Structure 1
Amino acid sequence: MLKGTKIYSIFTGTCPVCQEESMYTSSNLYNFKKTQEMHERCSNCRTKYKMEPSFFYGSMYVSYGIGVALAIATFVITYFLFDMSRLNIFFLIMAILVLGMPVVIRLSRNIWINLFLDYDPAKAKS
């Protein structure tokens, strides 16, 4: 249903152009040696993922925004709904950010590359 949209590519980690293949060599986010390993090109449409050296350095800005959003959401939910102390909230925010780091890394890379590449239905498999 969402295939062909940037949202689909961002949340599935598929090629932003054809959305047929995962950009990553490992589907396990918590395999820390392979969290950031990506294929050089899409095997379906031949899109090159690293368009230039250090291309994904820009995703650090996206990662920062996602981390801040997670921290604020955690604070608001725990402080106002569960009435937790600020110290406990701090430790909970740190735990969520550390445990969610692989997810945030991949999500920020997916958002970053989707800012520059668009879906092309002609390159997708039928």
Structure 2
Amino acid sequence: MTPISKLRAIAECKCPRCRKGPIFSGRIYSFKGQVTNEYCSYCNLRFEREPGFFYVSMFISYAMNVAEMISISVAAYVLGVALTYENLWAYIAIIVVGVFLFAPLNYRYSRVFLLHWLTPGLGYVPGITQDPKIKP
């Protein structure tokens, strides 16, 4: 079986160590919400490496949010919303709607980026197998 690439593992929100177990349970847009699993169901990796580990993902989410707001503003301008004082509330409304639509994606992918790219010492281990003796 061929291993999953890093980009595909990030896109599918898979564990950074085995690239098989899901990081989240639940769908992105659901009333129950998405929940970060405590352990990988395949290799038993603890996702929250230390208490407060995912606080760093707030900064990643902030950067993603700023980039999305700028992109939404530029797209609104290109699509014909004139950049005038009269259209100020239209721009604000468009940006707020975009922020709310992208919030679940920001939550999910800020944690995935933190685990895959910004956690030192946590990398892919090819050939790791599921060990039933190590369950938490």
Contact 1:21 1:44 in 2 (8 A): yes
**Residues 80 and 34 of structure 1, relative CA distance in 2, 3 Å threshold:** closer
Q: Secondary structure at the match of 2:24?
A: coil
Counterparts of residues 5-84 of structure 1 (less than 5 Å): 5=6, 7-26=7-26, 28-35=27-34, 37-84=35-82
Cα distance in structure 1, aligned partners of 2:126 and 2:30: 32
Runs of 5+ in structure 2 lacking a partner? 131-136
Counterparts of residues 93-104 of structure 1 (less than 5 Å): 93-104=95-106
The C-alpha deviation readout for 1:82-120, integer Å capped at 9, x for no partner, is 234332121111001012211110011111111212222
Q: Which runs of 4+ in 1 moved over 6 A?
A: none
The Cα of 1:33 is off from its aligned counterpart by 4.1
The Cα of 1:34 is off from its aligned counterpart by 3.2
Percent identity over the alignment is 30
Cα distance in structure 2, aligned partners of 1:66 and 1:75: 14
Match for 1:112 among 105, 111, 114? 114
**Residues 124 and 71 of structure 1, relative CA distance in 2, 3 Å threshold:** farther
Which has the bigger relative contact order, CA under 8 A and spacing at least 6? 1
**Residues 62 and 46 of structure 1, relative CA distance in 2, 3 Å threshold:** same
**Residues 106 and 81 of structure 1, relative CA distance in 2, 3 Å threshold:** same
Q: Tell me the TM-score normalized by structure 1.
A: 0.85
1:89 aligns to what? 91
The C-alpha deviation readout for 1:36-67, integer Å capped at 9, x for no partner, is x2222112111110110111000000000000
The Cα of 1:30 is off from its aligned counterpart by 2.1
Q: Tell me the TM-score normalized by structure 2.
A: 0.79
Contact 1:4 1:119 in 2 (8 A): no
